[in-house]
Amino acid sequence: MREVTATRYVEPLRSGGSVPAVVEADDLGTYVVKFTGSAQGHKALVAEVIVGELARALGLRFPELVLVRFDPAIAADEPHQEVRELHGASAGVNLGMDYLPGARDLTPDLAKVFPVDPREAGRIVWLDALTVNVDRTVHSSNLMVWPTLGTVPPRLWLIDHGAALVFHHRWDTTDPGRRYDFRHHALGPYGPDVRAADTELAPRVTPELLRGIVARVPDAWLAEDAGFATPDDVRDAYVDYLLARVRLSADWLPADFPAREQLAAEEAARAARTQAGRPAWLKQVPDLHGRPGVEQDGTVHLA
């Protein structure tokens, strides 16, 4: 990956627990930086690189990743102490993703009017199932619609894969053929054609492709993985596991996605159960764990 140096701190992004930041760099680009000092640790950055670069190699839209050299001094005016402490723990090389100006989150409301081809939806779901990305749900899609202005039609862009590759947290106990629950995937209501995606994409996930991708992960982000002697040993483990999972795709291929109406009914029932369990005085308080834009009776407010 290219390496750039951050020259101006623009703002922190507080929508996620890792508190990334928007910065400008010496190549005149603008990037969303995920910091090495965040609570998620280096494995989240490793997952970002491997899954993001694999997505791009398979023809999915994913912003360019770069290594960003960050000096906390450029963010000295940040008013929040905990964010300054994060910056102080992240001096040196961090991970940057090309910033998509004006992009919109694929929220449940936007999903109702934004068309996604079942084949494209199938490719994204297949990638998520292969890499065990459990963080692309109807509540948090980690999908952006961009561009939103001009004559170029808007397209889906993938972001945020730090929660993927869950197997690397417990290497010795995870079955490569394990099935995960993707019924509530953000693209489930589009009827994703995951079988066509498996036929198309599985042959393209080769040892050579994976070795080239894991080689882009900095040694320092792999060196702390217990149980491996060298960073290259960790890289080999990622390659071997993903190849084994590709071969076992028949065991984990997602299916039986609920329709939007079923999801709405499930959400309304969940909200009703939450309300029923509240004392009378608390029933007037909004359910802060429900979906944005959804009332307790299940009414959806369109943007």
Q: Where residue 299 falls among pLDDT bands split at 50, 70, 90?
A: very low
Rounded CA separation 60/228 (Å):
32
Task: Kindly report the average pLDDT of the chain as a whole number.
Answer: 90
* pLDDT score of 273: 85
Q: Per-residue pLDDT for 292 more than 50?
A: no
Average pLDDT of the residues in 126-144:
96
Q: Where residue 282 falls among pLDDT bands split at 50, 70, 90?
A: low
Average pLDDT of the residues in 236-248:
98
Rounded CA separation 113/301 (Å):
13
- Taking CA 166 as the corner, what is the angle to CA 162 and CA 167, rounded to the nearest 5 degrees? 140
The strand order across the sheet containing 104-105 reads: 104-105, 143-146, 155-158
Q: Where residue 301 falls among pLDDT bands split at 50, 70, 90?
A: very low
Q: Are 155 and 145 in contact (CB under 8 A)?
A: yes
Segment 248-279, tens digit of pLDDT: 999 999 988 988 888 788 878 887 887 787 77
Q: Which residue has the higher pLDDT, 24 or 271?
A: 24
**High-pLDDT (> 90) share of the chain, %:** 77
Amino acid 74 reads I
3-state secondary structure 124-191: HHHHHHHCCCCCCECCCCCEEEECCCCCCCCEEEECCCCCCCHHHHCHHHCCCCCCCCCCCECCHHHC
Segment 153-207, tens digit of pLDDT: 999 999 999 999 999 999 988 899 999 999 999 999 999 999 999 999 999 999 9
* pLDDT score of 48: 98
Q: Where residue 97 falls among pLDDT bands split at 50, 70, 90?
A: very high
* pLDDT score of 291: 40
Whether the model clears a pTM of 0.85, i.e. scores above it, the answer is yes
Average pLDDT of the residues in 22-28:
98
